[in-house]
Amino acid sequence: MLIEETEIRQRVAEMARRIEADYEGREPHFVGVLKGAAIFHADLVRELSLPLTMDFVSISSYGPATSPVGPLSLDKDLEDDIEGKDVILVEDIVDTGRTATFLFQWLPARKPASLRLCALLSKPDRRVFPAHPDYVGFDVPDRFVVGYGLDYNQMYRNLPYIAALRRSRPEPSSAHLEHTATGEP
């Protein structure tokens, strides 16, 4: 267990208050990066009392997920025109920064009025690309984390908390979730 459900809820509310202050009088357009950001995005927008719109993109990478090398491709484009909109990209985690950097290179061509990055988690020690989230929920250590939208082989996205995979040998197929005090995974 790294971050408990109540801590996440509290932090998401704090982030929402900051965004409300920064975007007062505007109608931000929240673009969630699928699939990892889906749960954070859903909770964040429900915390906001601003008028807002939302959309989603999906990016995939060729090559190992843990490697910062290899090209990225756009699997699902935006559905809405973002020209003149105040766009806030919502990511689950900024790890190497490759996804955020790709999106920040690609989206300005669509002429948004502004573009910011909001991430639930950030792993500053892993940064390879120059991604600088404007809003960050929690900095986390260089561990593989799951839950609250984040997956390991598509599993564990539904956990209401963030947990780190146990470092075990052999890896990664037999990696296990660390056990909480209650014995839950």
The catalytic site residues sit at: 95
User: Distance (Å, rounded) from C-alpha 88 to C-alpha 131?
Assistant: 14
Instruction: In angstroms, give the least distance from the CB of 184 to ligand IMP.
Output: 19
Residue 20 or 161 having the CB closest to ligand IMP: 161
Residue 93 near ligand IMP by CB under 6 A: yes
The correct pick among 28, 32, 36, 112 for binding ligand IMP (CB under 6 A) is 36
Residues 116-175 that bind ligand IMP (CB under 6 A): 144-146, 150-151
Residue 86 near ligand IMP by CB under 6 A: no
Joined tokens for residue 98: 């490759």
Stretch that binds ligand IMP, among 44-52, 78-86, 89-97, 172-180 (CB under 6 A): 89-97
Residue 97 or 137 having the CB closest to ligand IMP: 97
User: Distance (Å, rounded) from C-alpha 171 to C-alpha 123?
Assistant: 21
Provide the 10 A C-beta neighbour count for residue 93: 24
**Site size with ligand IMP, rule: CB under 6 A:** 15
What are residue 122's DSSP bridge partners? 94, 139
Residue 12 or 129 having the CB closest to ligand IMP: 129
The H or E element that residue 56 is part of is strand 53-61
Residue 110 or 126 having the CB closest to ligand IMP: 126
Positive or negative: CA dihedral 63, 96, 157, 22? negative
Residue 98 near ligand IMP by CB under 6 A: yes
Q: What 3-state class would DSSP assign to 77?
A: coil
Spatial contact of 29 and 86, defined as CB atoms under 8 Å apart: yes
Q: Given the structure tokens 């990066």, which residue do they identify?
A: 33
Which positions touch ligand IMP (CB under 6 A)?
36, 91-99, 144-146, 150-151
